[in-house]
A and B are shown apart, each in its own frame.
Chain A
């Protein structure tokens, strides 16, 4: 069969899978947009490129984590790095420790694996996973917020911010300060002024 593969076949093959603009030596610009790269990759035959790619993430303390691309692209930051072609070897994440990164990966894996919650059981299961996920000490919770912010994972950021909001709701200022160990650095006069300005809120 190889004998019959002539130049005509090869030309037709490559024409189908390359981006649709004429490439010539005199072409002024030879660049691919993000969507062209994504389109190219999705059309490229699987014999040449594996369809389930894994991405290596490196935490700030040097530990590496290998994850499926589908899980990694839950993070918009990582997704853009891959699209821009910066993910050949591994992706360094200098702002995330290994402890937090492993939790983030656990979160993303669960959310990718759960099919899009039309089934009530799956939705309940995901909700209880989320509820347990944020039952952590404050240090971890706020590190998760920073990581979700840096990695741009909207659902994780929403979940963690909502958790903190729920810790503030319904509490008096003194209770809030106690919960979060916030130091009251107002002078008595300043504090009185703030109370007066917004008296309606403190009734």
Chain B
């Protein structure tokens, strides 16, 4: 409990206008966030429509874990399935990036099969991570295991990534990002030494 950071000010339980049978709404925010952290990102975002109180609760999540490899690994070599999953995946990540309104994020994890066609999309994701002063960034885009992706080029990690609004610059390989503590990359970076 001591090392769990309260991302919103501690508040008394919200008893205004509650049903007498609405027990979950008597919980303080930090407990609801604990519950949300055990859901997938999509399920957590679904709760935003439950009531005005729940609308931005999911934005207090410290970890955004977009790991969609499992579904692809279970179905081998189906290119059409891959395409539909890829569409859903990028839509999900882009949607979350648009709506996530907390200034900081601890862990940002991307794990999927994507190639260089998605360079600008992935760059946007990285800009988001930079802007949110992420502490642990994981970008795992390994494509060599998929036969139908074998001959395409892999995503190149940008040698210089800046977000003009906050002037955070990530220079690979020495991560100059102030808050970044852990960086995991699996996307065959290319850079000039």
Contacts and interface: CB of A to CB of B under 8 A. Distances in A.
A185 B27 contact: no
B22 A149 contact: no
B23 A186 contact: no
A177 B46 CA distance: 12
Contact of A173 (B18, B31, B49): B49
Interface in B7-30: 17-19, 21-27
Contact of B39 (A142, A149, A169, A190): A169
Contact of A152 (B1, B23, B46): B1
Nearest to A170: B43
Contacts of A17: none
Interface in A125-155: 138-139, 141-142, 145-146, 149, 152, 154
Contact of B24 (A162, A180, A184): A180
Interface in A176-191: 176-177, 180-186, 190-191
A195 B50 CA distance: 11
Contact of A198 (B35, B51, B95): B95
A79 to B, nearest CB: 12
Contact of B31 (A145, A197, A202): A145
A176 to B, nearest CB: 6
If over half of A's interface residues share one DSSP class (helix, strand or loop), that class is named, otherwise mixed; here it is helix
A186 B49 CA distance: 8
A190 B48 CA distance: 11
Interface residues of B, number: 35
A87 interface: no
Contact of A142 (B17, B24, B34, B48): B24
B137 to A, nearest CB: 23
Interface in B24-61: 24-27, 31, 34-36, 38-39, 42-43, 45-52, 54-55
Name the residue among A152, A157, A195, A201 with the largest chain B CB count within 10 angstroms.
A201
A76 interface: yes
A201 B95 contact: yes
Given A142-B26, A149-B31, A176-B50, A181 B95 contact: no
Contact of A161 (B26, B35, B48, B99): B35
A133 B167 CA distance: 52
A45 B148 CA distance: 72
B95 A168 contact: no
Given A164-B24, A182-B22, 18 more contacts: A145-B27, A146-B31, A149-B1, A154-B1, A157-B34, A161-B31, A161-B35, A162-B38, A165-B35, A173-B46, A176-B46, A180-B22, A183-B17, A183-B51, A184-B51, A186-B49, A190-B52, A201-B92
Interface of A: 76, 138-139, 141-142, 145-146, 149, 152, 154, 157, 161-162, 164-165, 168-170, 172-173, 176-177, 180-186, 190-191, 194-195, 197-202
Interface of B: 1, 17-19, 21-27, 31, 34-36, 38-39, 42-43, 45-52, 54-55, 88, 91-92, 95, 98-99
The 7 closest A-B pairs by CB, nearest first: A165-B38, A201-B45, A181-B21, A200-B95, A180-B24, A142-B23, A181-B22
30 contacts: A138-B21, A138-B23, A138-B24, A139-B23, A142-B23, A142-B24, A145-B27, A145-B31, A157-B34, A161-B38, A164-B24, A165-B35, A165-B36, A169-B39, A170-B43, A172-B46, A173-B47, A173-B50, A177-B51, A180-B24, A180-B25, A182-B19, A182-B25, A182-B50, A183-B22, A183-B51, A185-B17, A195-B49, A201-B46, A201-B95
